[in-house]
Amino acid sequence: MEIVICKNYEEMSKAAAKVAADVVNHKPNAVLGFATGSSPVGLYKELIRMHQEEGLDFSKVTTFNLDEYVGLPGGHPQSYRHFMNDNLFDHINVPPENTHVPSGTAANHVAFCEWYEKRIRECGGIDLQVLGIGSDGHIAFNEPTSSLGSRTRMVTLTEQTLDDNARFFKKKSDVPRHAISMGVGTVLEARKLLMVVSGKNKAPALAAAVEGPVTSMITASALQLHPDAIVFCDTDAAGQLKMRDYYLWIQKQAGRAN
């Protein structure tokens, strides 16, 4: 796993966006996996800038999102479909029919999840999966004790995730308790993983994920099993990394930012 410590959120977002742009430039029909939440917003802003100012072309790209709240239709302002349209898809030239966000309102969730996995395979698998990390160490909505082999399915959110995500809703009781989420096993099949992490409140989860044991209690620790995972974090999020100086030394040798 490569760890890149950036000065701040903006630098982190730009450096991470460059990795995503390189994938698209190298493979114009790339399949990109996206996450929602505060962490990747800056990355998406930078991709939009690259599209508008540098002609980064998404016309052949296909996308798959990690998760969606159960019960929220795509038009709901707090749905992840709405988030993606608002923060990325509406501002780049990806064909809307090429964008996939799990449905939170399918009549049959089990059948939907099977279809979602099949659709990822039909599209050739995910070339690059963007990830954030929850303060409880989750990736996608794979809460502590999710199997590291799990596939797309309906999950129950932890109290901590409900607390963390309440900021997007009028009140905590409005946050749906369930979500459709890609599994850890689904995420691990992406050819490249790109995680963005910022802020002091993520420092314990990041340290546990990168330097702790691989455990279903911190599903982000599964990144340690992936042959091509890169983590961009800011200095606040890096605050509890024991090997911080080592990562900084390596990134200096590699000519990366900071």
Q: What residues are labeled active site?
A: 67, 136, 138, 143
Asked if 31 is part of the footprint of ligand F6R (rule: CB under 6 A), the reply reads no
Asked if 103 is part of the footprint of ligand F6R (rule: CB under 6 A), the reply reads no
Asked if 138 is part of the footprint of ligand F6R (rule: CB under 6 A), the reply reads yes
Query: 235: which 2 tokens?
Result: 């200095």
Least spacing, CB of residue 53 vs ligand F6R, in Å:
25
Region binding ligand F6R by CB under 6 A among candidate stretches 3-11, 13-21, 37-45, 90-98: 37-45
Nearer to ligand F6R, 54 or 86 (CB): 86
- Crossing angle for the helix pair 80-87 and 41-54, to the nearest 10 degrees: 40
Asked if 229 is part of the footprint of ligand F6R (rule: CB under 6 A), the reply reads no
Asked if 104 is part of the footprint of ligand F6R (rule: CB under 6 A), the reply reads no
Least spacing, CB of residue 252 vs ligand F6R, in Å:
27
* Beta-strand pair 67-69/178-181: antiparallel
What is the rounded distance in angstroms from the CA atom of residue 73 to the CA atom of residue 68? 9
Query: 164: which 2 tokens?
Result: 């963390």
Asked if 39 is part of the footprint of ligand F6R (rule: CB under 6 A), the reply reads yes
Region binding ligand F6R by CB under 6 A among candidate stretches 11-19, 102-110, 137-145, 244-252: 137-145
Q: Which of 46, 67, 127, 234 binds ligand F6R (CB under 6 A)?
A: 67
Q: Which of 37, 102, 137, 183 binds ligand F6R (CB under 6 A)?
A: 37
Asked if 66 is part of the footprint of ligand F6R (rule: CB under 6 A), the reply reads yes
Q: Considering all CA atoms of the chain, what is the largest pairwise distance in Å, rounded to the nearest integer?
A: 53
Region binding ligand F6R by CB under 6 A among candidate stretches 70-78, 134-142, 148-156, 185-193: 134-142
Asked if 234 is part of the footprint of ligand F6R (rule: CB under 6 A), the reply reads no
Least spacing, CB of residue 218 vs ligand F6R, in Å:
12
Asked if 56 is part of the footprint of ligand F6R (rule: CB under 6 A), the reply reads no
Least spacing, CB of residue 127 vs ligand F6R, in Å:
18
DSSP line for the chain? -EEEEESSHHHHHHHHHHHHHHHHHH-TT-EEEE--SSTTHHHHHHHHHHHHHH----TT-EEEESEEETT--TTSTTSHHHHHHHHTGGGS---GGGEE---SS-S-HHHHHHHHHHHHHHTT--SEEEE---TTS-BTTB-TT--TT--SEEEE--HHHHHHHGGGSSSGGGS-SEEEE--HHHHHTSSEEEEEE-SGGGHHHHHHHHHS--BTTBGGGGGGG-SSEEEEEETTGGGG-TTHHHHHHHHHHTT---
Least spacing, CB of residue 90 vs ligand F6R, in Å:
18
Which residues of the shown chain bind ligand F6R in the complex (CB under 6 A)? 35-39, 66-67, 132-134, 138-141
